Amino acid sequence: MRNLLVTIRFDGRAFHGWQVQQNAPTVMQTFQDALQAVLKDRPDVKGCSRTDSGVSARMYCVSFKTESTIPCKNLIAALNVNLPKTVAVLDCREVEGDFHARYSSKGKHYCYRVLNSRIRDPFLEGFTVHYPYPKDIDAEFLNRQAKSFVGTHDFKAFQNSGTVMEDTVRTIHSFNVLRSGDMIEFHVCGDGFLYNMVRIMVGTLIDIAKGSIASDSISDILASKDRKNAGTTAPAQGLMLEEVFY
């Protein structure tokens, strides 16, 4: 039995997240369909994270066990033939038997993109959020505010309300807000993320920019452990999983 780690990327606009759902296309189901076509078997696949509907990934990792002897190079080619244009396999390699795409991960890098312009850009639709704020968002100011997220904290206030999670402590290694022209990028790296955590952190920063949440209040929001004190949940389409670390 081989344990394989497959790296893919996908256009999240076409899917309702990773996990299989009834009556809705998902990345997991699409990937398993391709595996079944190639292997004549439907392995139990493990994804590196749960993704929301509309979220895309430049790098997403999947592990599964198979008795197939197809070389990794050939498997990449065969899977890509059987996958839609919205999904592509980038790499495949054999890993140790106890490797798990999610639980073996050391961390992830997400980027959230906001087009801060009066006029939307059709070529960025689905991969950025158009934010025609009456004035330019001060990225340098938000970059300073974002530093309050860095470190090990209880992020209970920054997870989707109603989510049941016993351990809500996570470590954020870095959080940088950068502007290039009209594009603002929120780059965050951490050892793990709660459900909707990145989108709520970004939404909170934008609310601070708007003045609906006081500046220098992120530490107090963290300490409150209350979702009601954090900001809005930023739309899914601005979020991209950039990299997974092992």
pLDDT tens readout for residues 1-32: 999 999 999 999 989 999 888 889 999 999 99
Final residue of a domain: which of 50, 75, 95?
95
One domain, residues 46 and 132: no
Which residues are catalytic, by number? 52
| CATH value at residue 145 | 3.30.70.660
Q: What average pLDDT does range 220-242 have in this prediction?
A: 97
Q: Is residue 113 part of a domain?
A: yes
CA 220, 222, 225, 226 torsion: positive or negative? positive
Is residue 166 scored above 90 in pLDDT?
no
Residue 226 pLDDT: 96
CA distances from 59 to 23, 87, 95, 110, 242 (A): 26, 11, 17, 10, 6
Express as a percent the part of the chain with pLDDT over 70.
100
One domain, residues 70 and 153: no
One domain, residues 47 and 86: yes
One domain, residues 78 and 39: yes
One domain, residues 86 and 131: no
Distance CA 177, CA 17 (A): 26
- Where residue 141 falls among pLDDT bands split at 50, 70, 90? very high
One domain, residues 84 and 121: no
One domain, residues 125 and 236: yes
Residue 22 pLDDT: 85
Number of domains in the chain: 2
Q: Is residue 102 part of a domain?
A: no
Q: Is residue 73 part of a domain?
A: yes
Q: Is residue 25 part of a domain?
A: yes
Residue 181 pLDDT: 95
One domain, residues 47 and 125: no
Is residue 52 scored above 90 in pLDDT?
no
Residue 6 pLDDT: 98
Final residue of a domain: which of 53, 73, 95?
95
Q: Is residue 91 part of a domain?
A: yes
Q: Is residue 100 part of a domain?
A: no
Residue 191 pLDDT: 96
Is residue 172 scored above 90 in pLDDT?
yes
DSSP state of 135: S
One domain, residues 82 and 114: no
Final residue of a domain: which of 74, 95, 116?
95
Q: What average pLDDT does range 233-239 have in this prediction?
A: 96
User: The domain containing residue 135 runs over which residues?
Assistant: 107-245
Q: Is residue 226 part of a domain?
A: yes
One domain, residues 232 and 120: yes
DSSP state of 199: H
Q: Which residues contact 77 (CB under 8 A, 6 or more apart)?
A: none
Residue 135 pLDDT: 82
C-beta of residue 70 within 8 angstroms of C-beta of residue 17? no
| CATH value at residue 73 | 3.30.70.580
Q: Is residue 183 part of a domain?
A: yes
In degrees and rounded to multiples of 5, residue 141 shows phi and psi of -65, -45
